Chain A
Amino acid sequence: MEIEEKKSRPFLSILIWIIPVFLFCLSVMMILYTPVFQDSAFKVKFLFAGKSLFEGKSPEAIENMVLRSGRTISSIETKLEKLKPVKPYIVVNTTENRFSLRNVDGDTVRTGVCSTGKNELLIAGNKRIIFKTPKGIFTVRNKQQNRPWVKPDWAFIEDGLPIPSARSAERIDYSTLGDYAMEIGNGYMIHGTLYQRFLGLPVTHGCVRLGDKDLEVVYNTLSKGSKVYIY
């Protein structure tokens, strides 16, 4: 019997050291995982959560606040309504190279693939030219059929050709833009392409290229002043 007692004492004394070890580990855990402990502590805090903002206010005051809030909401809704486009518009997604054509109510009438800027930085001596499609809101400024493209300097730099004079006939290209073109400002356009197989890929110098059928529908739906949203 005595022998058994003697054996169990050291066992118990070792086991009891678990308590300080546990306390130490818990302290370290609290430092290492503070956000987790804090998040749990919020459960306790909100058991005794403060009272509602509207508590203690008379029914008349609440009724007044409801009326005023209702008036403000309808006033803001009217203002937001005024900001909506009044003409059909197009939304261009440059990450996925897709477009959606929408009517004035915001319903999508056509979607499809397009090509947008290739995000390339062309370094030519001191010149640095970035080929990217700008993001934001634009307006269709001009619409033209069979529009010739007046090649800018970068088109020659990119092809390793000498840059001709500003009015040189070499700059005029009758086929690249396709059947229709819509200017959206700063030299950027929505136009057709000779490279239909690249649709859906980022290959352009900043313009938005559409397939022939899509381009025709977009050209006939959008008018001068229509909005172009690019993101």
Chain B
Amino acid sequence: MKNKIAFWIITLLFTACLIFVAITTIIRPVFTKNPLPKATVRNYSEEKKKVGKDEIINPGEDTATATETISNSKDSQNKLLELKRKENLLRSRLILATEDSTYLVLDLINNLAILELKGIPLHECHIIHATISNSIKLYNKDALLGWMAEPFVLRNVEATIPKISYVEKIAPKDTLEANKMVTEPKEAKLGDVLVVMEFERNLRLIISQNEQPDADGLKLISDIRRKYNKNEISRSIQALTKFNREPVKPQIEIVIPKSDATILYKSLPLSPRLILKM
């Protein structure tokens, strides 16, 4: 009898616990918070000055005047969607082409990662595999337009390789010392790469290498992954105490060859921009 009561008390307690955890960490953030906030359309006066007198039309400016509710043919809607996507992409490219820094174009339709400067593709690499989280993949294609309307700006980055590394050398005192210091240059060994980039509007981009990492590389890679997992766990625990969890971070993970991953990471500026094509 005692066991029976204990069983029911514990079962009810754990059921309540499960419901609370599910609502706080999963159901509420997923169903009530928009993971893909709309891009804030900036003032384009600077771009206008740089590009020319013609104005750059802001996304979202095209709003239909008619309010009549008529079911439209799917064809014209699809055509408009395609045009809007192209327009967004070209506008983002134009904005970034007026600046003097390299940026990344992630073309998930053709599986390409392109490093561009002033509209010129400098380096192109094939994406071997891309994993896109459901919060992006399953979103209405036309609703994604607002999210991708502007280039994404990097907020935070973690990587297993340094962006810039210098070898320090103390100047020799005389020619004898200088001669001793002369060494045959060697090809630098490429380190294993995992780059986690967190952009504005909640986007997280993970660039990982296709090749199997060595023991040291594996440790560095798992350290970064563990760090992000820990952050997620602490967010969930905080959510349980405050009954409020921040919006879900949509994630895109691309797998590319190690050499390309190194080039992309090392060539991008400290605060790079990203254009998404999908």
Which A residues contact B (CB, under 8 angstroms)? 13, 16-17, 19-20, 23-24, 26-27, 30-32, 34-35, 37-43, 45-46, 49-50, 52-66, 68-70, 72-73, 75-77, 79-80, 82-85, 89, 91, 93-96, 106, 118-125, 127, 130, 132, 135-137, 157-161, 198, 200-203, 229, 231
Contact = CB atoms under 8 A, between A and B. Distances in A.
16 contacts: A24-B14, A38-B26, A41-B26, A41-B31, A45-B30, A52-B143, A53-B145, A61-B64, A66-B83, A68-B62, A91-B120, A95-B266, A119-B167, A136-B117, A160-B174, A229-B122
A201 B168 contact: no
B248 interface: yes
Given A65-B80, A124-B171, A229 B117 contact: yes
Contacts of B40: none
Contact of A40 (B71, B118, B134, B166): B134
A203 B184 CA distance: 10
Contact of B21 (A30, A41, A201): A30
B209 interface: no
Chain B interface residue bracket vs A: 35 or more
**Complex A-B, nearest 9 residue pairs according to Cβ-Cβ distance, in ascending order:** A61-B64, A124-B171, A160-B178, A160-B172, A42-B134, A23-B14, A58-B66, A46-B138, A69-B83
Contacts of B121: 106
B246 to A, nearest CB: 11
A94 to B, nearest CB: 8
A35 B259 CA distance: 30
Contacts of B18: 23-24, 26-27, 30
Contacts of B248: 35, 38-39, 42
Nearest to B77: A54
A179 B160 CA distance: 41
Given A34-B25, A69-B62, A201-B185, 10 more contacts: A42-B138, A54-B81, A58-B66, A76-B91, A91-B120, A119-B165, A123-B168, A123-B170, A160-B171, A160-B173
